[in-house]
Structure formats: structure tokens, C-alpha cells
Structure 1
């Protein structure tokens, strides 16, 4: 058995786990501080510099929290910084994207039916788009400073919609949604790295030097933190979307993405208003449900099936050619088509299934050869697929044929 694919599979799992753990830490602290900031009451003792305070109870104890605006009179001896959660989330996410989408560009990143790209060109576009996102957003924030957050958020929304459309014109649907999430997450993490933390360090430096800090640095940092708060939920949707082809494989996937960003705003607006003691805006949930129903309708309005023709006319990448020409491929192709295409087809035959799971189709020579590793892992090394209780379950002889074919191609 070839150990390298097993290593990369576990590396992907480990990075995904790390990414989830760090994201929980970042999102948790971000949501907490936004809620705390909005819920502060005026200081009871009116101490100099105290902007607001709040009593909280958790874990069997009471906490008394005060916020200074712009800063306390002197530098505290022990100051906790909330930054590593953001950095670790972005770094682990980028590493995961490199392992899955860059090393597996031919399988997950590139869709010849969307755009013919080499692996190198696709990866270069991916990285350049992330850098562009931060540069464009940061430039607009600086130009719009002091001109109203509403206008700034509208411009940011337009940028996100344009990027949603652009990604779907370049990458596979699955990769387009993932990149839209990465694009947004890059903006969020860069806000922390380039704006929020440096501004806080300027304030700390002034305190140490005995100077009165300028309030503008705190206002700018708070603005960027608020942007991050409203962008968090759409990013989570994009990251989870790769499991749901009805979202990313629709002809109208970029419109679905645009509506998801609006739902993120409506949900966060409800909670932010509640934390600010301004009432419970239940209408935001009605609007969210309405937007979600539109998303559901768009997903069924057309699955993205723009094929260039039968498998004989489809172009095989270098790795796919290797597996298609390997000994035993014809037998494996028959096994897969017979036992897997009931669900993994353009129009699944399994009752209640609207789209192939994860958007994976296993009907043509191109599809089976391109997804060789996934087939080997899911049906050869493990018994994850086909489902054990179904009549399509594979016998040991068929699984052995899959292993011999894949491993023979790798060793050859």
C-alpha cells in the first residue's frame, strides 16, 4: 500500500482540525468583545477615562468589567492581547487550502468546463486574488474614513459580489466558494494584523511615554473590528459549503453567495441590537428566512452541468491520463459506474437526492480517472463508500481490484 496518499489525507485532517479549533477561539473572542462593548453601561463612579462597565456572571463567579476610552491613566502591568487566534486561523486555513486546492489543483481547483488553466496559473490567480482583496478593501477604508460606515459597508458588499461572480468564472464551483471565504477571511485577519493591533500598540507606546493617546486610533480599530463581526457568518457558510453542492454547483451560485452575505448582516444585526439593549428586532429573522428560501429556490433552478461532451471528448490532465491508462482501469471503471453512479451522477437516481454528494460525479472516464485517489481511499482502503447497508455495497474482490489499480498506477 502506498503510504504517501495516506500521509497527505491525515495531514489534511490535522490542518482542518487545527483550523476549526483556532477559528472557534477567534470567533468566540470576537463575538464576546463586540457583545461586551455594545452592552456596557455608563460608569457608576464616573472614574476618569472609564467609558462604560458591566457586571457579568459565569462559571460560578461574578466579573466586573470596565472599558477605558481612550486608555487608562497609566499602563497596566499585565496586558492580554487578542491577536494570535486570528493569525493562527488564517495561517492554518491557508495551509489547508495549499494542501487541498494547490496540491490537488487538477481535481478541486480547476474545472476545464469553466476555464482552461494550468495548475501554476490557477494557484497564481488564487494567491493574487487574496492580496488584491486586502489592498482594495484597505484603500477604500482609508479613502472613506469619516464619511459614514453605511456607505463603506455598501462598497464592501459590492466588492464581495463582484468577487463572487469573478471566482465562479475562473474556478470550479466548490473552489469558488472556498476562495470567496478565504478572500473575506484574509480581509478580516489583515484587519487585525495591519490595523487593529498596530493601532493598539501606538496607544500603548503613548501610555508608556506618558503622552495622552489620540482617540482616532481606537475609533479606526473599532470600525475594522465591527466589519469583521458582520463578515464572520458568511465566511463560515463558505467554508462549510464544499459539503453541499446545491450551494456551489448551481448556475446561480454567485447570487447565492451574495445573498449569504446579506443573511450574515441580518443575523448579526439582531444580536448586536439586542446586546446594545435596543430591543429584539425579530423582523431580521423573517428577512433572513426569506433570503434563505430564495437561496433554496436558486439552488434548484439549475445545477451547474455545463459539460463539453462525452468523456471521449473531455481533456484528461496528466495525473488522470496516468490512471486511465493503468492496468485494471476498465474493470474499476465498470465497478464504479455500476455501484457509485446511482448517487454520483448528473441526475442522481437515489430517491430524495437532488445533487451528487459533494458535487462528485462518477460516470465518465475522465471523472473516474481524475478522482482516482478519492475512489481508492473511500472504496479501496476504507469501506466508507458505497454505504454499507445499500444494495450497491462492494465485495472484497471489487475493493481489491480498486487497490491494485490505484497502487499499480502510483508505483508505475
Structure 2
């Protein structure tokens, strides 16, 4: 466990450039990831295709470097291959402000986008709903494509809709996004239920029954604790990091890291610099404030930035967040929760075109594995991080659903 007093020193140490992996380490990482490719918990490509390209999936050539597009993306097939991605949970994100029947329709649109780009590239992608499907895709040289809903607002408060989403292949649901619901509280909004309401507990129970993974990223500490009290299956945090290193409400404190481990779940580290570094987050808040001051509706970054913001960044250099910062979070979670309970959920195409230095897209995972190898990680633990831990959770969720097959379904709806 990393003592809190050491965190400032740890962050300061990341100001010089990270070491370049040597040839032996690169070869070792290639070997590990060839057998146990990365299963990433969260990627927002579907939303970016909808937002930036009006959902015109066929207009975006994923076989080429999408970083070079006028509206650049962080995901494409060459970079997925270079990154040794063997399984990707595609997020079915819609804004938290969309609720009711409109949210259900928007979620169906997102499912359609994922299915369309998977069908457009049958030699690359294969839809997957089970751990066996993921292994089969790897053995066929394909990338298993899995889907997760990023907020409980998306099923419109009707468990019949939740069940139909599962029938369509949705494998997890993040209980809340940025806004609290009547039945579960968000980490970034005022509480409404104090954790989980009675209906919230029914939602978790129904997810266990139908084999849908409960995702506790985005939820409040009280909701995490309440979920861990009632779930019969392991949970995931699909894209969250360690609060002991970066004190953000979206990150997970040590006490809950330990409880997730006791539950058999997995915490999947987010690569967004604001969740990795307090210093970077403070810098970003100042940048956002400056954008508002000069009348910009947002503070775009990377290729989408504006001349004024580029000039501001020149005068206010960005604090370094690189592969070592990501590795610090991975190692902290491994030390507190155990090597069996850490994974990766980078949040590419959901992190506003940013990312750690040198890790701006889905090709960057081997760099992290090389850094962890440099720190002494064994091949066994690297494979747990990349592949084995997530598959274990999937298998246990599947086993729980089989054990509950005779349990009557819950037909309640959100009382509001």
C-alpha cells in the first residue's frame, strides 16, 4: 500500500521523461499480450461516432489511422491491433439529462452503432456475450466486442427494458452517470437515495438474475457500499482509478477497494489525466475557467483546441502525466485489493481527446505493461491485469445467473 504522505513525492518523480522500454522487455510484453490480450472495460467510440459523425458509421474508415481525421478519434483497427486489444467493452453512453422513453431510444441507437461497425469488419470484430465467446474470438484472431450501458437512467426505470437490453447483448450497466437517480446516487451529484433505495436493490438483484454485470464506476461511496452489501455476483468498476493517489470523487478509496476484492470484483483503471493526477486536474480546471472567461462554450483539447487555448497552454505548461502515473494507480490497486482485482478501462474516445503523455490512443497498452514489467511484475500478474481477472468476473456472473435461473423475475418499476 502506498502511504498518502508519499503521494506528492510520487507525483514529483514523474516530471522527467519515462524510461524507454528495452528490446527484451518489449518482446516479453508482446509474448504475454499475444496469449492474454487486453480486455478493456470502457471505450466511447460509439458516442463519438454519433456525436461527431451523426452516427454515420459507414463514413468512418476504421481500417485507417483515425487520429488523422478532421474530427480525430482515439480508436481504429490498426491501433487496436498494435495495442493487443483482445476484448473491448463498447460503452453505450448517452447524456444523463436524457431520461424516460427518449433515453431508451437513444440507447438502442447506440447499440445499433456498435452492431454496425462490428458487422462492417467481420474479420476483425466478433460480438461476445460470454467468457467462452471472448476466448473463441481470441483463438480466431478477432477482437471480442462487448457492450455496457453507462447509466441507470438509460432503461427508463422499467426492468422489462433492462431485460431486453440484456437480450440484445448488453453485459454491464453502470448504475449512475453524473446525476443521482431516485434509486442510486452519483459520485458527482447530491444524494437522493442514501446509497440504494428498495428499487435500487431490486435492480441489482435483477441484474444478478439475468447475468448483467453491476458496474460501480460513477456511483457514490454509499452506493458502492450498498451494492456490495446486496449483490450475489462480482462487480466491476469499468473505468475508475485510486483515490489515494488522485483525490477525485470518481475514484475509489482504499476501504472500498478492499471490499471490491472481497466481492471478487475488478477495478479497471481510467487513463483520463484528471483522474490520475491532482496537479493535472487543477491545471485543467484553470484552463476551463480561462475558456469560459474568453467566451468559449467548451475547452477542447488536442487537434480540436483553439489558438487562444494553445497560447494559454504555452504560457501555462501542462503538468506531466505519463505511463508511470497510470502504473502508479495500477500498482496501488494491486497492493490494496490484490493482483486478482485490477484491470484496465482506459475510457478512450471518452476523455476529450486527451490521455497520458505518449498514450493518446488504444495502441498504448503495451507501454503500460512494459512499465509494470520494469517494476518487477511477473508474467502471471501481467496476464491477470490484461485478461484473466475480467474473464473470471464474467464466468462468476454467468454462474450466478445459472444458479438464480429458478428465481422469479422482478417486475417492479421505478416509483420515481
TM range (shorter): under 0.3
Larger Rg, first or second structure (1 or 2): 1
Structure with a larger share of its residues in helix: 1
Write 1 or 2 for the structure with the bigger share of strand: 2
Normalised by the size of structure 2, how large is the TM-score? 0.26
TM-score by length of 1: 0.27
